[in-house]
Amino acid sequence: MFNGLARSFMIKRGENPGNGDRREAAEAMAKNAKKNDMILRSSGVVNIDGSDNFASVFSKRGRKGVNQDCAIVWEEFGCQADMLFCGIFDGHGPWGHFVAKKVRESMVSSLLCNWQETLARASLDEDINLESDQKHWRFHIWKHSYLKTCASVDQELEHYRKIDSFLSGTTALTIVRQGDLIFVANVGDSRAVLATTSDDGTLVPVQLTVDFKPNLPREYLTILSEEAERIIQCNGRVFCLHDEPGVHRVWLPDEESPGLAMSRAFGDYCVKDCGLISVPEVTQRHITSGDLFVVLATDGVWDVISNQEAVQIVSSTPDKAKAAKHLVESAARAWRKKRKGIAMDDISAICLFFHSTPLPLHEAYVNEQSRNMKLKK
pLDDT of residue 15: 47
Nearest residue to 308 (alpha-carbon basis) of 194, 205, 210, 209:
205
Q: What confidence tens digit (pLDDT) does each residue in 262-296 have?
A: 999 999 999 999 999 999 999 999 999 999 999 99
Q: Please write the tens of the pLDDT for every residue from 6-45.
A: 344 444 334 455 566 777 888 888 888 877 778 999 999 9
Strand partners, 86: 73, 175
Quote the percentage of the chain above a pLDDT of 70. Answer: 83
| pLDDT single digits (tens) 149-169 | 999 999 999 999 999 999 999
Cα separation, 131 vs 40, in Å, equals 34
Per-residue pLDDT band at 222 (split at 50, 70, 90): low
Q: What is d(CA 198, CA 205) in angstroms, rounded to the nearest whole number?
A: 10
Calculate the alpha carbon distances from 100 to 69, 210, 336, 337 in Å: 7, 20, 26, 29
At 14 the pLDDT is 41
Q: Are 291 and 196 in contact (CB under 8 A)?
A: yes
Q: Residue 225 has what pLDDT?
A: 58
Q: What value, to the nearest 5°, has the Cα angle with vertex 115 and ends 80 and 177?
A: 50
Asked if residue 258 has a cis previous peptide bond (ω within 30° of 0), the answer is: yes
Residues of the chain above pLDDT 90, percent: 62
Residue 84's pLDDT band (cuts 50, 70, 90): very high
The secondary structure of residue 277, as a DSSP letter, is B
Whole-number pLDDT of residue 6 = 37
Q: How far apart are CA 330 and CA 258, in angstroms?
A: 31
- SS3 category, 296: strand
**pTM of the shown model:** 0.88
pLDDT value, residue 126: 63
Q: What is the mean pLDDT of the chain?
A: 86
Stretch (H or E) spanning 112? helix 96-124
Cβ-Cβ contacts under 8 Å for 22 (sequence gap 6 or more): 9, 113, 116, 117
Question: Do the beta carbons of residue 175 and residue 296 sit within 8 Å?
Answer: yes
Best CA proximity match to 347, nearest among 307, 309, 303: 303
Phi-psi region of 197 (alpha: psi -120 to 50; beta: other; left: phi over 0): beta
Which residues neighbour 38 within 8 Å (Cβ) at sequence distance 6 or greater? 46, 48, 74, 75, 76
The torsion angle over the Cα atoms of residues 148, 150, 153 and 154, rounded to 10 degrees, is -120
Per-residue pLDDT reduced to its tens digit, 333-373 = 999 999 888 899 999 999 999 975 444 454 555 455 545 54
